[in-house]
Every structure is written in C-alpha cells, then in structure tokens.
Amino acid sequence: MERVVWLFCPLSHLGSSSGFLMEAVSAAVSKSRKHVDLAERVILQHELRRLRKIALRMVEDMEVGDAGITQALVDSIHDKWREDEVVKLKFEGPQSLNMKRTHETLESRTGGFVIWRSGSSVVLYRGMAYTLSCVQSYNEKIQTSVNSLKNEDTASNVFHSKGGRILCGSAEYMKDLSKEKRMDMNDPNSLLDELGPRFKDWSGCEPVPVDADLLPSEVPGYKPPVRLLPYGVRHCLRNKEMTRFRRLARTMPSHFALGRNRKLQGLAEAMVKLWESSAIAKIAIKRGVLNTCNDRMAEELKNLTGGTLLSRNKDYIVFYRGNDFLPPVVVEALKEREKLTDVQANEEDQARQRASAAIESKLKASKSPLVAGTLTETLAATSRWGNEISSKDVEQMRRDESLNKHAALLKYLEKKLALAKGKVKRAEKALAKVQENLRPADLPVDLETISDEERSLLRKIGLSMKPFLLIGRRGIFDGTVENMHLHWKYRKLVKLIVRGKSFAQVKHLVVSLEAESGGVLVSLDKTMKSYAIIVYRGKNYQRPHAVRPRNLLTRRQALARSIELQRREALKHHISDLQERIELLNYELEDMRVNNQIDEEKLSRSFNAGATIDDTSEDEGEEAYLKVYDSGVEDT
C-alpha cells in the first residue's frame, strides 16, 4: 500500500526549514517503499496497485512454520502460481525475526517478486515472464531488465566470514575478480562439496552447509582420530581461549545441518576431515524437525570424534578439534617413525646378543678360574680380616638407634611447638587489629524494668512469634542491631535464635544486646537445638536517627574476628596436644636410659603418634594473617 503525506502549511511560513521538511518527507516515503524496491522498479505502478488489491482480497494465506523456506514450500508456491498471480505467506517462528533475509531468500529461491510486506506477512508475485502458456507472449526485454536488476541486488549481498568473503549470487561480479581471489572465495564451497551433499532447504546465508542426514549413519571400520598431546601444551582450553573460540564461531558460517540424534558416524568422519583445514566445526540444527535433542547430538559427536564442545543450544552446536588433534598426514609420519624405531631397536638387540655370545665364548676358552667379584673372594676376605658381631653389640646398636629416633622425634615436636606458639602470637595480633574498631557500649544506668506478669506475657508472645533473627558465627555486629530496630518498627518484641554456642557465650551475647540496642531482656530459653532470646523494645522506645551503630564491627570485620578466634582456639588445642606428647616422650626417653631396656609397644606407639602430626604447615609470615584486613572497611 502506498503512503501519501500531506502537509497543509504555506511555504511562506516554512522559511529556511522548508528544505529540511521536504527532505524528511522524501525520506519517509523512501523508507516506506524500501521493502519492495525491486518490484517497484520492475513492475508498472498501475499493475502494482492492481496486484496489491488482489492480495488484499485474498482470504487464505500459506502459513510457514519453523522449518522455513524448504523445497516443499517452493513447490507449493509454484503450484499455487499455476492458478493465481500472487501468493500470500504468513511466517512464524525464527523466520519472522529477520524478515529482510527472509524476503531476499524467498525471491532468490522462487524467482518471484515481493510486492507487499507488513510484519511477518508477505505477498509474492510470480512475475510477468512466468513460464506458462498464457504468458509466453510477453516481451523478452522485460525479462532482460528483470535479470539485470536482480543481479545488481544480489551482487551486493556479500557474506563475511573469518577467513575471507564469499559472494552470494552474481556471476558477472565473479568475472571481474582475479583468479587468486576467485579461488580464495571458492575454497569454502569446494571444501563443503568434498564433505557431502548440500542442504537444499537452507534459509541462511551462503555457503550452504552439508546435509548431515544424508551422510551414512554407520561407516565400516570407523575409529576415532588418533590424539597425541604435544609437550608443554595444556589438554583443555583456558577460559580466555574458550571465549575467543566462541566469539569466532558466532561469525562463522555453518558447515553442517543436522536433524537426527543418533548414528552420526558419517558426520563424525566429515568433521575429522574438516578439522584438517579448520579448527572449528559448526553444526546447525534443522528447524521444524521433531524430537531433536542437542544434548544427545553433542554427546554422540563427542564420543565419536573426541573433540572439545565449545557451545550448544537449540540452533547450533560448535566443536573445537582439540589441542591433541593430529591430522592424518602427521599420523602417517608418526607411524613411519615408529616403524623405523622398531627396526633400529631390533638391530640393537641383535648386536647385543652377538656381543654377549662372543663374551661367553671367551670365558669358556679361558682355563684359569676367575675369583674377583665372586662369593669365594668375599668369604676369603671375611675369614681373614672380618670380625663377627656379638649379640651384645647388636642389642647395643638397636638401643642406640631407638634413642636416636626418640631424640629426633622429640626435637621435631619441640620445633612444631615453637612454630605453633609463633602462630598464636600472630593470630592474637591480627585479632587485636580487627577489634580496633570495636567500642562496646555500657549498660544504661536507668534501665527500664518490667513486672513478672508482663514478663510472662511477653515471653509467651515472643516464643510464639514466627519471624526471628539468626545470630551465627559473626556474633553481634552493626547489622544485628539495625535489624532489631527494623523489627521494633512494626512490633514490640524481637526474637533472636543463637545456635552452636555454649550457655556462657549466650549470656555474654545477651548482655551485649541489651547494651547496644537499649532494649529490655524478657527471657533466655533453651530450645531443642538452639537458644531463644526475647528482647522488649520498652515502653518509652524512640527510634534513633542512625539505626546502624558506628561503635560496632561491620559484617566483614565480624567474620574476620570469628575466623581469628577460631584459629586461636584451634592453635591452643594444638599446643596442648604437643605439650602432652613432648612430656610423654621425655618420660619414655628417661625410662629407657635408666632401665637400659627397649619396650617395643611404647616405641611403636610413640612413632605412630609422631607420624599423625602434619608436617606440611610452614611459617607463612605475618602477612598471611594481616593481608585480609588491609583492603579497607566495608560499609554495608
């Protein structure tokens, strides 16, 4: 439909802006006509209006689903053109997302003209020179002009890939290029032609991918490609390499179009052949095919080829050949080298056997027996110069050895003890550094009191409350007090749950809560797995201007304090254990020296106890404890 813009305004009122308004009007008109520019240049205006009126009166339209522009759709359009001049199409699914490409593909596949397009609806005209007996009398000049216009439009449609540019269409444009450029542009097409037949119903950009469903499902004697990882190369890709390959695969054309889930040996063989010239194989999943599962496809191909899966979704599957992939030429060279190595090894074995046979023949020929290096020489030397060791000497050697082992183990434990004490000092220093910002408040002097009846009633209400605050390993920090004030905004009581702490620690938390929040403690009750604290806001409660106190630790600092307390406690237990072991070893060592006897059970027990101590802990330095808290204070 044509769009006419009327401006009811005298030109004398426009002034200097009249030229700008006229340009805007012409731009709007050209924008409205750019969808059917080719049809308007070829078909006369009165004929174009007549065809559009016929299309508007059409009730039925052909619906195109997810499969897109297939050969069956093209045949049905030609069958429809035998009766009517125009065909109305309604696109649904992925084809409707890019109607510009659908428009171009429809004209190139059918040979017709799009005379009207709105949204996902298209009206396709068969053309004045359509091959029917009733239209053969049209002038051949019109057909010549139509072909020239189509060639001009298709020559500008160039598909950019990573390796170069691939032209879609015009043969005249190909004639103007040099021979080298034509070979570079035809390389992808020639490579895909070697892999298998093309997918006829492809609706994307060229080159047209190989139809993987037409490849053989089973290849006799197929084996996964030989893989060998070069020295110093990682087996898997790094994150940056994976990202770079994925970005590269987005702009690459599809090599294969796949519609089945299993029996993909033919596709696997074609992928291995493709990997000889391209590191990435991109597989497009056919649209409109039922029961396609990209997960099963990717799993089957990974088992058959051994490649690295870069990405997969409902549209594409991308495989990288892998760092350990070897082309067939390299495999053949390696096999030849292996055969040559085996031949050389056999020759060396034969030479070694000949040399050993010659030595044995010389030994048999010698008349005098050889004594050097034999048992006879050893027995003669022992009887002449050696002294036999008595049982007392053996017992003394065992005793000295056990004493040396006890002394070495004792020295090792003392070294571990000194190292643990140094770690405790550094942990205490780190804890002091964390607690520099902690300035706890004192209990108020005029603390509000409540009667026993009020306390009993508030305790029942508080224990039956569902909302509560959980106090974890961080203890009380500024966020805890802030949440208490937020609870007191809507209710008089706040319920706090404490888990994993002793009763003494919970009592200390209760005192801190009263001092920091200004509330009144109602009760402290022991539940099945935790402690429940009920705090009353008071009868004269006034919400402070700053609900988050500045004298407490932040959330990060509270976690750091908890970690340092846990570390210090663990080190203290470790030190006490080491001291007990050292005392036991000292006692056993003195006992062995006084009694001059060896107890095998005590000896084995001491060594087993010493072996359980971890020898991997080393002195990490003071920075290992303090570098966590130098990043600044978190204001959350």
Calculate mean pLDDT across residues 311-338: 89
At 308, phi and psi to the nearest 5? -100, 125
> If we measure between CA atoms, which residue out of 442, 461, 606, 463 comes closest to residue 526?
463
Cis peptide before 207, with omega less than 30 degrees from 0?
Answer: yes
Lowest-confidence region among 358-367, 419-428, 539-548, 557-566: 358-367
What does the angle CA 543 – CA 544 – CA 549 come to, to the nearest 5 degrees?
130
**158-189 residue pLDDT tens:** 333 333 333 333 333 344 445 444 444 446 78
> If we measure between CA atoms, which residue out of 284, 279, 273, 318 comes closest to residue 298?
318
> What confidence score (pLDDT) does residue 604 get?
59
Confidence of residue 602 (pLDDT cuts 50, 70, 90): low
Indicate whether 354 pLDDT > 70.
yes
Average pLDDT, the chain: 77
What does the angle CA 324 – CA 299 – CA 67 come to, to the nearest 5 degrees?
120
> If we measure between CA atoms, which residue out of 271, 260, 159 comes closest to residue 208?
159
Confidence of residue 532 (pLDDT cuts 50, 70, 90): very high
Can you tell me the distance from the alpha carbon of 38 to that of 107, in angstroms, rounded to the nearest whole number? 10
Can you tell me the distance from the alpha carbon of 399 to that of 407, in angstroms, rounded to the nearest whole number? 12
Assessment of whether the complete model's pTM goes beyond 0.75: no
* 494 three-state secondary structure: strand
Calculate mean pLDDT across residues 541-558: 88
Indicate whether 139 pLDDT > 60.
no
Greater pLDDT, 240 or 145: 240
* 358 three-state secondary structure: helix
Indicate whether 371 pLDDT > 90.
no
Indicate whether 8 pLDDT > 50.
no
> What confidence score (pLDDT) does residue 618 get?
42
Indicate whether 143 pLDDT > 60.
no
**414-431 residue pLDDT tens:** 999 999 999 999 988 888
Confidence of residue 21 (pLDDT cuts 50, 70, 90): very low
Indicate whether 363 pLDDT > 70.
no
Indicate whether 485 pLDDT > 70.
yes
Tokens of 103: 């428009």
Calculate mean pLDDT across residues 427-440: 86
* 317 three-state secondary structure: strand
* 118 three-state secondary structure: strand
Per-residue DSSP letter, 253: P
Calculate mean pLDDT across residues 565-582: 91
Calculate mean pLDDT across residues 446-471: 88
Is residue 509 within 8 Å of 498, Cβ to Cβ? Answer: yes
62-64 and 86-91 strand pairing: parallel
Indicate whether 319 pLDDT > 90.
yes
* 428 three-state secondary structure: helix
At 612, phi and psi to the nearest 5? -75, -10
Alpha carbon separation from 197 to 183, 285, 351, 372 (Å, rounded): 21, 16, 57, 80
Q: Over pLDDT 70: what percentage of the chain?
A: 76
Indicate whether 326 pLDDT > 80.
yes
Indicate whether 573 pLDDT > 80.
yes
> What confidence score (pLDDT) does residue 144 get?
52
> What confidence score (pLDDT) does residue 171 get?
38
493-498 and 62-64 strand pairing: unpaired
> What confidence score (pLDDT) does residue 576 get?
92
Greater pLDDT, 142 or 187: 187
Indicate whether 44 pLDDT > 70.
yes
Residue 230 CA to its chain's centroid (Å): 25
At 315, phi and psi to the nearest 5? -110, -40
**227-251 residue pLDDT tens:** 888 888 888 888 899 999 999 999 8
CA dihedral 526→529→533→534, nearest 10 degrees, is -90
Greater pLDDT, 142 or 537: 537
Indicate whether 497 pLDDT > 90.
yes
Is residue 472 within 8 Å of 478, Cβ to Cβ? Answer: no
